[in-house]
Protein backbone atom coordinates (compact mmCIF):
# COMPACT_ATOMS: atom_id res chain seq x y z
CA UNK A 1 0.00 0.00 0.00
CA UNK A 2 1.10 3.56 -0.68
CA UNK A 3 2.65 5.47 2.20
CA UNK A 4 0.87 8.57 3.48
CA UNK A 5 2.87 11.68 4.36
CA UNK A 6 2.29 15.23 5.47
CA UNK A 7 4.79 17.77 4.12
CA UNK A 8 4.97 21.07 5.99
CA UNK A 9 6.41 23.97 4.01
CA UNK A 10 7.72 26.95 5.97
CA UNK A 11 6.39 30.38 5.00
CA UNK A 12 9.95 31.29 4.05
CA UNK A 13 9.85 28.58 1.37
CA UNK A 14 7.46 30.86 -0.53
CA UNK A 15 8.87 34.26 0.47
CA UNK A 16 12.58 34.16 1.16
CA UNK A 17 14.34 36.37 3.66
CA UNK A 18 15.65 39.64 2.17
CA UNK A 19 13.25 39.36 -0.79
CA UNK A 20 10.53 41.89 -1.47
CA UNK A 21 8.11 38.99 -1.72
CA UNK A 22 6.12 40.01 -4.79
CA UNK A 23 3.92 37.46 -6.55
CA UNK A 24 6.54 36.64 -9.20
CA UNK A 25 9.12 35.81 -6.55
CA UNK A 26 6.59 33.75 -4.62
CA UNK A 27 5.72 31.68 -7.69
CA UNK A 28 9.43 31.15 -8.47
CA UNK A 29 10.09 30.03 -4.90
CA UNK A 30 7.06 27.75 -4.98
CA UNK A 31 8.37 26.04 -8.12
CA UNK A 32 11.68 25.35 -6.35
CA UNK A 33 9.97 24.23 -3.14
CA UNK A 34 7.77 21.62 -4.79
CA UNK A 35 10.44 19.59 -6.62
CA UNK A 36 10.73 17.04 -3.82
CA UNK A 37 6.96 16.82 -3.30
CA UNK A 38 6.53 16.16 -7.02
CA UNK A 39 9.05 13.32 -6.59
CA UNK A 40 6.89 11.92 -3.80
CA UNK A 41 3.78 12.13 -5.96
CA UNK A 42 5.57 10.28 -8.75
CA UNK A 43 6.62 7.61 -6.23
CA UNK A 44 2.96 7.07 -5.35
CA UNK A 45 2.84 8.69 -1.92
CA UNK A 46 -0.51 9.85 -0.60
CA UNK A 47 0.20 13.47 0.33
CA UNK A 48 -1.16 16.39 2.32
CA UNK A 49 0.76 19.67 2.05
CA UNK A 50 0.66 22.33 4.74
CA UNK A 51 2.40 25.70 4.68
CA UNK A 52 3.31 28.63 6.89
CA UNK A 53 2.41 32.23 6.16
CA UNK A 54 4.59 34.32 8.49
CA UNK A 55 6.01 36.76 5.90
CA UNK A 56 2.72 36.89 4.02
CA UNK A 57 0.51 37.62 7.02
CA UNK A 58 2.96 40.34 8.08
CA UNK A 59 2.54 42.02 4.69
CA UNK A 60 -1.24 41.59 4.89
CA UNK A 61 -1.36 43.30 8.28
CA UNK A 62 0.67 46.21 6.90
CA UNK A 63 -1.91 46.57 4.12
CA UNK A 64 -4.66 46.63 6.74
CA UNK A 65 -2.87 49.36 8.68
CA UNK A 66 -2.14 51.48 5.62
CA UNK A 67 -5.69 51.31 4.22
CA UNK A 68 -7.60 51.56 7.50
CA UNK A 69 -8.98 55.00 6.60
CA UNK A 70 -10.09 53.83 3.15
CA UNK A 71 -11.71 50.41 3.71
CA UNK A 72 -12.87 48.42 6.75
CA UNK A 73 -10.01 46.53 8.43
CA UNK A 74 -9.87 42.75 8.07
CA UNK A 75 -9.44 40.72 11.28
CA UNK A 76 -6.48 38.37 11.60
CA UNK A 77 -8.52 35.15 11.44
CA UNK A 78 -10.01 36.19 8.10
CA UNK A 79 -6.56 37.20 6.82
CA UNK A 80 -5.33 33.67 7.61
CA UNK A 81 -8.24 32.28 5.59
CA UNK A 82 -7.52 34.70 2.71
CA UNK A 83 -3.87 33.67 2.62
CA UNK A 84 -4.76 29.98 2.84
CA UNK A 85 -6.69 30.41 -0.39
CA UNK A 86 -4.17 32.66 -2.15
CA UNK A 87 -1.07 30.70 -1.23
CA UNK A 88 -2.94 27.44 -1.78
CA UNK A 89 -3.70 28.59 -5.31
CA UNK A 90 0.01 29.15 -6.01
CA UNK A 91 0.98 25.76 -4.60
CA UNK A 92 -1.92 23.98 -6.30
CA UNK A 93 -1.27 25.40 -9.76
CA UNK A 94 2.48 24.85 -9.50
CA UNK A 95 2.00 21.25 -8.42
CA UNK A 96 -0.48 20.63 -11.26
CA UNK A 97 2.04 21.98 -13.77
CA UNK A 98 4.87 19.85 -12.36
CA UNK A 99 2.78 16.69 -12.43
CA UNK A 100 1.57 17.41 -15.95
CA UNK A 101 5.19 17.84 -17.10
CA UNK A 102 6.03 14.43 -15.60
CA UNK A 103 2.89 12.82 -17.07
CA UNK A 104 1.66 11.99 -13.56
CA UNK A 105 -2.14 11.92 -13.32
CA UNK A 106 -3.03 13.11 -9.82
CA UNK A 107 -5.71 15.56 -8.70
CA UNK A 108 -4.62 18.52 -6.52
CA UNK A 109 -6.97 20.58 -4.38
CA UNK A 110 -6.76 23.36 -1.80
CA UNK A 111 -9.00 23.03 1.24
CA UNK A 112 -9.39 25.59 4.03
CA UNK A 113 -9.06 24.11 7.50
CA UNK A 114 -10.59 25.35 10.73
CA UNK A 115 -8.45 24.22 13.66
CA UNK A 116 -10.15 23.79 17.02
CA UNK A 117 -8.32 25.22 20.02
CA UNK A 118 -9.19 25.55 23.70
CA UNK A 119 -10.95 28.87 24.33
CA UNK A 120 -9.15 28.97 27.70
CA UNK A 121 -5.70 28.33 26.22
CA UNK A 122 -3.16 30.38 28.25
CA UNK A 123 -1.92 32.18 25.13
CA UNK A 124 -5.36 33.75 24.65
CA UNK A 125 -5.07 35.49 28.01
CA UNK A 126 -1.35 36.27 27.65
CA UNK A 127 -0.52 36.50 23.92
CA UNK A 128 3.12 36.40 22.85
CA UNK A 129 3.22 35.71 19.09
CA UNK A 130 4.63 38.76 17.27
CA UNK A 131 2.83 39.73 14.06
CA UNK A 132 2.68 42.68 11.70
CA UNK A 133 4.65 45.92 11.48
CA UNK A 134 6.88 47.61 14.04
CA UNK A 135 5.67 50.67 15.94
CA UNK A 136 7.41 53.53 17.68
CA UNK A 137 7.10 53.68 21.46
CA UNK A 138 5.00 56.84 21.29
CA UNK A 139 2.39 55.02 19.17
CA UNK A 140 1.81 52.20 21.63
CA UNK A 141 -0.59 53.88 24.06
CA UNK A 142 -2.97 55.03 21.32
CA UNK A 143 -2.96 51.63 19.58
CA UNK A 144 -3.77 49.88 22.84
CA UNK A 145 -6.57 52.29 23.78
CA UNK A 146 -8.21 52.73 20.35
CA UNK A 147 -7.73 49.31 18.74
CA UNK A 148 -7.39 47.03 21.73
CA UNK A 149 -4.04 45.69 20.57
CA UNK A 150 -1.65 43.96 22.94
CA UNK A 151 1.80 45.31 22.13
CA UNK A 152 5.16 44.19 23.47
CA UNK A 153 8.78 45.03 22.77
CA UNK A 154 10.32 42.75 20.17
CA UNK A 155 13.96 42.52 21.24
CA UNK A 156 15.77 45.72 20.30
CA UNK A 157 13.90 46.21 17.03
CA UNK A 158 10.86 48.05 18.35
CA UNK A 159 7.31 47.39 19.42
CA UNK A 160 4.94 44.95 17.74
CA UNK A 161 1.49 43.56 18.18
CA UNK A 162 1.26 40.15 19.86
CA UNK A 163 -1.61 37.73 19.32
CA UNK A 164 -2.65 34.37 20.76
CA UNK A 165 -1.08 31.21 19.36
CA UNK A 166 -3.12 28.45 21.02
CA UNK A 167 -2.24 24.76 20.80
CA UNK A 168 -4.24 22.96 18.08
CA UNK A 169 -6.52 20.16 19.23
CA UNK A 170 -8.45 18.95 16.20
CA UNK A 171 -9.18 19.87 12.59
CA UNK A 172 -12.85 20.40 11.75
CA UNK A 173 -12.49 19.10 8.18
CA UNK A 174 -10.20 16.16 9.03
CA UNK A 175 -12.55 13.44 7.75
CA UNK A 176 -12.91 15.12 4.37
CA UNK A 177 -9.15 15.60 4.12
CA UNK A 178 -8.52 11.97 5.08
CA UNK A 179 -10.96 10.66 2.46
CA UNK A 180 -9.43 12.82 -0.26
CA UNK A 181 -5.85 11.84 0.60
CA UNK A 182 -6.72 8.14 0.76
CA UNK A 183 -8.28 8.41 -2.70
CA UNK A 184 -4.99 9.74 -4.09
CA UNK A 185 -5.84 13.46 -4.19
CA UNK A 186 -2.97 15.74 -3.13
CA UNK A 187 -4.53 18.08 -0.56
CA UNK A 188 -3.15 21.51 0.35
CA UNK A 189 -4.57 22.47 3.72
CA UNK A 190 -3.91 24.00 7.15
CA UNK A 191 -2.41 27.08 5.50
CA UNK A 192 -0.68 29.20 8.10
CA UNK A 193 -1.53 26.53 10.66
CA UNK A 194 -5.22 26.75 9.82
CA UNK A 195 -7.90 29.15 10.98
CA UNK A 196 -8.19 29.03 14.79
CA UNK A 197 -11.69 28.46 16.14
CA UNK A 198 -13.21 27.32 19.40
CA UNK A 199 -16.43 25.48 20.20
CA UNK A 200 -19.16 27.27 22.13
CA UNK A 201 -21.32 25.44 24.68
CA UNK A 202 -24.10 25.19 22.08
CA UNK A 203 -21.56 23.62 19.66
CA UNK A 204 -21.25 26.70 17.43
CA UNK A 205 -17.80 27.48 16.06
CA UNK A 206 -16.33 30.93 16.75
CA UNK A 207 -13.14 32.36 15.29
CA UNK A 208 -10.20 33.67 17.30
CA UNK A 209 -8.05 36.61 16.33
CA UNK A 210 -4.82 34.64 16.50
CA UNK A 211 -2.61 32.15 14.71
CA UNK A 212 -1.87 28.44 15.06
CA UNK A 213 1.66 27.08 14.75
CA UNK A 214 1.89 25.39 11.36
CA UNK A 215 4.10 22.54 12.52
CA UNK A 216 1.94 21.64 15.53
CA UNK A 217 -1.13 21.71 13.26
CA UNK A 218 0.70 19.50 10.75
CA UNK A 219 1.31 16.88 13.45
CA UNK A 220 -2.40 16.91 14.36
CA UNK A 221 -3.29 16.56 10.67
CA UNK A 222 -0.81 13.73 10.13
CA UNK A 223 -2.31 11.72 12.98
CA UNK A 224 -5.87 12.45 11.82
CA UNK A 225 -5.28 11.11 8.30
CA UNK A 226 -3.18 8.14 9.40
CA UNK A 227 0.12 9.36 7.93
CA UNK A 228 3.22 7.27 8.58
CA UNK A 229 5.64 10.09 7.77
CA UNK A 230 5.93 13.81 8.55
CA UNK A 231 8.36 16.10 6.72
CA UNK A 232 8.97 19.53 8.23
CA UNK A 233 10.82 21.70 5.73
CA UNK A 234 12.65 24.79 6.90
CA UNK A 235 15.70 26.97 6.18
CA UNK A 236 18.39 24.71 7.69
CA UNK A 237 19.56 21.31 6.51
CA UNK A 238 19.61 19.63 9.91
CA UNK A 239 18.59 20.08 13.52
CA UNK A 240 21.57 21.23 15.58
CA UNK A 241 22.54 21.63 19.20
CA UNK A 242 24.47 24.73 20.31
CA UNK A 243 23.09 26.34 17.16
CA UNK A 244 24.97 29.42 15.94
CA UNK A 245 28.01 28.86 18.15
CA UNK A 246 31.43 27.37 17.50
CA UNK A 247 30.19 24.26 19.32
CA UNK A 248 27.30 23.71 16.90
CA UNK A 249 26.72 20.06 16.11
CA UNK A 250 24.35 18.93 13.36
CA UNK A 251 22.29 15.86 14.16
CA UNK A 252 21.51 13.05 11.73
CA UNK A 253 19.12 11.17 14.01
CA UNK A 254 17.19 11.59 17.26
CA UNK A 255 14.92 9.28 19.17
CA UNK A 256 11.75 10.71 20.69
CA UNK A 257 13.32 10.41 24.13
CA UNK A 258 16.44 12.31 23.05
CA UNK A 259 14.37 14.98 21.30
CA UNK A 260 12.15 15.45 24.33
CA UNK A 261 15.17 15.71 26.66
CA UNK A 262 16.87 18.35 24.49
CA UNK A 263 13.60 20.25 24.15
CA UNK A 264 13.07 20.35 27.90
CA UNK A 265 16.67 21.49 28.38
CA UNK A 266 15.97 24.58 26.27
CA UNK A 267 18.17 23.50 23.38
CA UNK A 268 15.51 24.39 20.81
CA UNK A 269 14.06 27.93 21.14
CA UNK A 270 10.29 28.44 21.14
CA UNK A 271 10.52 30.93 18.28
CA UNK A 272 12.38 28.69 15.84
CA UNK A 273 13.20 24.98 16.13
CA UNK A 274 11.20 24.28 19.29
CA UNK A 275 7.74 23.90 17.69
CA UNK A 276 9.20 21.69 14.95
CA UNK A 277 10.74 19.30 17.46
CA UNK A 278 7.56 19.30 19.54
CA UNK A 279 5.49 18.57 16.43
CA UNK A 280 7.74 15.64 15.54
CA UNK A 281 7.50 14.26 19.09
CA UNK A 282 3.69 14.67 19.14
CA UNK A 283 3.39 12.90 15.80
CA UNK A 284 5.57 9.95 16.78
CA UNK A 285 3.95 9.55 20.19
CA UNK A 286 0.53 9.21 18.55
CA UNK A 287 1.49 6.49 16.10
CA UNK A 288 3.68 8.05 13.42
CA UNK A 289 6.69 6.12 12.16
CA UNK A 290 9.14 8.72 10.87
CA UNK A 291 9.59 12.48 11.16
CA UNK A 292 12.15 14.40 9.13
CA UNK A 293 13.30 18.00 9.58
CA UNK A 294 15.47 19.66 6.95
CA UNK A 295 15.86 22.21 4.18
CA UNK A 296 13.12 22.48 1.58
CA UNK A 297 15.50 22.02 -1.35
CA UNK A 298 16.91 18.86 0.25
CA UNK A 299 13.63 16.93 0.32
CA UNK A 300 14.68 14.61 -2.56
CA UNK A 301 17.79 13.65 -0.57
CA UNK A 302 15.78 13.34 2.65
CA UNK A 303 13.53 10.77 1.00
CA UNK A 304 16.62 8.61 0.51
CA UNK A 305 17.92 9.24 4.04
CA UNK A 306 20.83 11.28 2.69
CA UNK A 307 20.07 14.61 4.39
CA UNK A 308 18.00 16.18 7.13
CA UNK A 309 17.48 15.00 10.70
CA UNK A 310 15.40 11.87 11.20
CA UNK A 311 13.41 11.46 14.41
CA UNK A 312 11.96 8.07 15.26
CA UNK A 313 10.32 6.33 18.21
CA UNK A 314 12.22 3.42 19.72
CA UNK A 315 10.75 0.11 18.63
CA UNK A 316 9.67 -1.10 22.08
CA UNK A 317 7.97 2.20 22.90
CA UNK A 318 6.37 2.85 19.52
CA UNK A 319 2.61 2.97 20.06
CA UNK A 320 0.34 1.01 17.74
CA UNK A 321 -1.99 3.02 15.55
CA UNK A 322 -5.62 2.41 16.47
One of 36, 54, 129, 210 is an active-site residue; which one? 129
Question: Are the C-beta atoms of residues 47 and 37 closer than 8 Å to each other?
Answer: yes
Question: Are the C-beta atoms of residues 70 and 27 closer than 8 Å to each other?
Answer: no
Dihedrals phi, psi of 220, to nearest 5 degrees: -60, -45
One of 10, 12, 52, 77 is an active-site residue; which one? 12
| Backbone dihedral region for residue 242 (phi beyond 0: left; psi -120 to 50: alpha; all else: beta) | left
Catalytic residue status for 276: yes
Catalytic residue status for 287: no
Residue (of 59, 86, 46) closest to 221 by Cα position: 46
One of 191, 276, 294, 307 is an active-site residue; which one? 276
Cα–Cα distance, 60 to 127 (Å, whole number): 20
Cα–Cα distance, 166 to 28 (Å, whole number): 32
Number of CB atoms found within 10 A of residue 214's CB:
26
Catalytic residue status for 129: yes
For 173, residues 6+ apart whose C-beta sits below 8 A from its C-beta are: 111, 112, 113, 114, 189
Strands 114-117 and 205-207: unpaired
One of 54, 132, 191, 214 is an active-site residue; which one? 214
Catalytic residue status for 12: yes
What's 88's DSSP letter? H
Question: Are the C-beta atoms of residues 104 and 186 closer than 8 Å to each other?
Answer: no
One of 10, 11, 77, 288 is an active-site residue; which one? 11
Catalytic residue status for 184: no
3-state helix, strand, coil in the chain (%, to 5): 40, 25, 35
Active site residues: 11-12, 129, 214, 276
Amino acid sequence: MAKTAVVALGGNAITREFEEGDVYQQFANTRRALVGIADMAEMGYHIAITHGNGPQVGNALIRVEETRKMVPPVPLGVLVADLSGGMGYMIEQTMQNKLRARNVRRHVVTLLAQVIVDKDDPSIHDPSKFVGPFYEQEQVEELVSTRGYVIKKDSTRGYRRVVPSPIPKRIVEEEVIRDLVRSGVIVITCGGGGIPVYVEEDHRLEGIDGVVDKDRASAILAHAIGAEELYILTAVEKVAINFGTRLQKDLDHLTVEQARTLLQAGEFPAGSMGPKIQAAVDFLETGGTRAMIGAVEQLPAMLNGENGTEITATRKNRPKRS
